[in-house]
Each structure stands twice: as structure tokens, then as C-alpha cells.
Amino acid sequence: MAHNLGKRSIVKKTVEVGFSTFLSRLLGLAREALMARYLGAGVVSDAFITAFKIPNFLRKIFAEGALTASFVPTIVSVFKKDSRDDVSRLMTLAFLFFEGILFLLCTFIFVFAWYVIRVIAPGFSIEQVSYAVPFLRILIGFILFVSSSALLAGALNAINHFFVPAFSPVVLNIFFVFGLVLGLKFGLPVTGLCYIILLGAFTQFLMHIYIYFKLKFKFLPIDQKAKDNFKTLMKRFLPCFMGMSVLELNLFVDTSLASFLVAGSLTRVYYASRFMGIPLGIFAIAFATILLPHFSRVAHYAPRRLWFYLFEASKLILWVTLPASIIMSFFSYEIFSTLFVSKKFTIVDALLTQNILIAFTVGLFFFSINKILINIFYALHDTRRPTIITIAATLLNVVLNIILMQFWAATGLAIATTIGGMFQTVFFYYYLHKHHGFKLFLPKLIPFVVRMLLQLVCIMSSYYFVYRLMVFIIKFLSIPLQHYLLETVCFWFWVVPLVGALFANLYVTRKVFGIKLYFVD
């Protein structure tokens, strides 16, 4: 009945989840590019994104955010000390409670959709609200299916089944992309796209329920033990309600304040945040997802072992996210000019979105490590301190948003979110050290950072030279070929392999530079 993960299993499961996430993000990339062509950056796009962000924000609470962070450790504990039937009884109670609350909440939002949009996007015009209301009334059902899937995924993750929970977003994106293609080709109205997204969420739920029963879980009558286990779950969930998803909460605030800026600003913030989320999802969130149940077990029998895991996870995340941030910043204009620009999304939109993306990528390490840090707090059953830190970071973000948007418009919102992420990271480390006795191993971290920077300078400078040489050669070709290879999606046919080779080279040469990574070596 032991389901402990060794180092190789952690890496294997991270790659498994990361690959599924990569497929999802790749489809997400196609989705965002098609959305830019279908909706543009204006009144309708702002309305759709606002309507969709409401169920997506609830998703961070009642699905893979706060609920997962509190649910997985509880399920792990029940599965370890009791039986599969006890897990099934807890699942029954959790389903009735959380999905019952969500059903009532969705009903309220459906009935009062106009007022909800006015509160969420207070800067919207009457026209924008009128567009958003029917979108919201269709899309709000999305959260019921996604939340149900997340509850089922908690049971699956507890016994180290990660594939279906990780692959299901791929299915959702397939439906989304299919809807956008229909919209572009046959003039499908935006409400039709909303119904297709809802169908994708339902399909995702069917996948989870099938595997849930296949792995011999059930829905059984509730007994006293299930009620006691549920009380433990709620003690963890309520603080997680505010504590888990500070980045998503800050992005939610960003887009709400963006409604006061010129039309299209909200859309540009959304697109930039989605691209920043690609490396965050492929690596950091996948890594954190695998480590959460592992941390929960380690905290029971060897809590000091978490010190070492935190140190090594910090090294690995820094080693991965720093080059990712540099590369995304370097190609920030090309990302939007080659993939998004159309009649509805102009070169000016690309330039403005580029600046927002650069501001977000500066915080990539902090957003990523926060996923690990908060999981350590929850594995230690400490939900109060991360909640306090999160609330403080969110308030700081709101204040900075209001100040910085006066100077840099939508880019100021991204800068404020990055600063909020940095604030959260610093205080997470501080309280783990002060209140949980964690050793941070700073003297060992400094030589690692020096070696890593030396590796980046040597390897990335050589690849920059190769990139400039390729551009130089392409400019000797005919004008049409230059256009295709430098200004359209064909640009990525030769740049992506180059970036892939760069990361492969960083991996291969790490030992040459004396870089030791526990989870990789």
C-alpha cells in the first residue's frame, strides 16, 4: 500500500505530467493565435475573456488550486492509515459539499450575470457588458465539470496516477481550438464557441470518472470517519482559499483594473500572461504537482528531509526558468508579430503586448518557486502563514497596480504582479526558516549561481551568434522568403529547433561547469 516516490519516479512523473502539459500548452498556443484572429483585441475580446476568467478563477479555488492543495494531503493521509473505501466515503461527502456550493454559486451568477460583470470589470462600457453577459451564462457551467474532475484527480494523484489529470487539459484545448476553427471558417458566433468549450469540460469530466471507477474507487455512504476526515480537509481548505493562488488572484485583479484602460488592454494582459504561463505550466506546475503528495508523505516520517528538497528544487527551478525568461524576453516581439498579427490584432497590439510579456517574464522564477514553497507549507499543515503572506502580497499588488498603471498602463499591471510574486517568495523563505527551522543553505547556493551564470553566458552567447548568423544569411534570400522566414509563423520552424538545441546544450554541459542538480543527475 506504500506509494512513495523515489528520485527517478519524481523525475519520470514530472516528465510525464510536463509532456502532457506541453501538449496542452502547444494547443494553447494555437488557441491564443486563433483567438487573436477570431476576436482581435477590442470590445468583443475583452468581453469574452472577462466572461471566461470568472469560471477560470473559480477553477483556481474549487479545482486545481486551493482544493487540490488541501485535498491531496488529506487523501494521502486517509489512504495511508485507512482504506480505499474510506477514501471513497470522503470523496462522496466532498462531492456533495463542494459541487453543491458550486451549483448554487453558478445559479446565482447565471441569474445576476449583468451585475457580476459590472463588479468584475467596473470600467466596462454598457456595450462591453452586453456582449459579456450571454458568454458568462454559458461558460459558468464550465466550472462544475472542471471542479468535479479536480476532486476525482485528487484521489488519482494520491495513488500516483497523474496521466489522466495531466492529459485532460489537452482534450479541453482540442475542443477550444476546434471551436475557433469553426468560428473562423464558418462564422460561428462567439456563443457557439462557448458551448463547444462547455462540451470539452464535460468530456474531461467523463475521462476522470472512468479512471476513478477503473482504479476501484467508488461513491459509498457517508459514515462518521468520513465526516472527521472532511473536517480535517476543511481546516486545510479554508486558509488555502486565499493562500494558494496568489498569482491567479493578482492576474484577476490586473484584468479587472485593465477594464479602466483603453479597449483591448485587458486582452493584451491576458495574452501576455498566457505566454508567461507556458514555461510555468510545463515545468514548475508539473514539478509542484508531483512533489505535493511526496512532500505530504516525507513530512510524516522525515520532515528535515524537506530542507534538502527545497534547496534542490530551488536550484533546479532557477536553472530552468532563468534561460526561459531570457529567451521569452528576447523573442517577445516575434511571439506576437508572427503568430497573432491579423486584421483584428495589429502591429501596435503586438508591440504593446510585448512589453507586458517582458514584465511578466522577469517574475517567472518567483512565480515558479512559489508553487513549491506553498506546497511545503501545506505538507507541514501550516496554512495560516502562507495565507497571511498571500493576502499581504495581493494588497501590495492592488496598490502597485493603481500607481503603476498611471505611468505604464497595462505594462504597469504586469510589473506590479511581478513585484508581488517577489514579495511572496522572500516571505515564504523567511517564515520557513524562522518558524519551521528550515536551513536555506545560502553559502552553497552562491557558488551554484556563479557556475550557472557562467554556463549561461558561455552557451547562450554562442547561440546568439548562431541566431544572428542565420538572420544574416536569410537576408540574402529573395524578399518573399525573407518575409516567410522572419515575419510569419515559419520563423519558428528554425528558431524552435535552435532554442531546443540550446536547452539540450545546457543540459549536456552542466557537469562541465560543475553544476549539480539532485533531481536531474
Report how far residue 191's alpha carbon sits from residue 42's, in angstroms, rounded to the nearest whole number: 17
Task: Work out the burial of residue 119: count CB atoms within 10 Å of its CB; fewer than 13 is exposed, 13-18 middle, 19 or more buried.
Answer: exposed
Task: Work out the burial of residue 392: count CB atoms within 10 Å of its CB; fewer than 13 is exposed, 13-18 middle, 19 or more buried.
Answer: middle
pLDDT in tens, 322-377: 999 999 999 999 999 998 888 888 999 999 999 999 999 999 999 989 888 887 88
Mean predicted confidence (pLDDT) in 119-148? 93
Here the contacts of 495-504 (C-beta below 8 Å, separation 24 or greater) are 495/331, 495/334, 495/467, 498/463, 498/466, 498/467, 498/470, 499/327, 501/463, 502/323, 502/327, 502/459, 502/460, 502/463, 503/323
Report how far residue 44's alpha carbon sits from residue 310's, in angstroms, rounded to the nearest whole number: 44
Mean predicted confidence (pLDDT) in 61-69? 68
Instruction: State the SS3 of 26-91.
Output: HHHHHHHHHHHHHHCCCHHHHHHHHHHHHHHHHHHHHCCCHHHHHHHHHHHHHHHHCCHHHHHHHH
Q: Could you say which DSSP state residue 65 is in? A: T
Model's pTM, two decimal places?
0.77
Mean predicted confidence (pLDDT) in 449-477? 96
Query: What is the number of alpha carbons within 13 Å of residue 127 lying toward its C-beta?
Result: 6
Is pLDDT at 512 greater than 80 in this prediction? yes
Report how far residue 514's alpha carbon sits from residue 187's, in angstroms, rounded to the nearest whole number: 57
- The least confident of 279-288, 332-341, 403-412 is 279-288
**Percentage of residues in the chain having pLDDT higher than 70:** 88
Report how far residue 238's alpha carbon sits from residue 70's, in angstroms, rounded to the nearest whole number: 9
| 282 — pLDDT class (breaks 50, 70, 90) | low
Is pLDDT at 288 greater than 80 in this prediction? no
Is pLDDT at 242 greater than 60 in this prediction? no
pLDDT at 233: 81
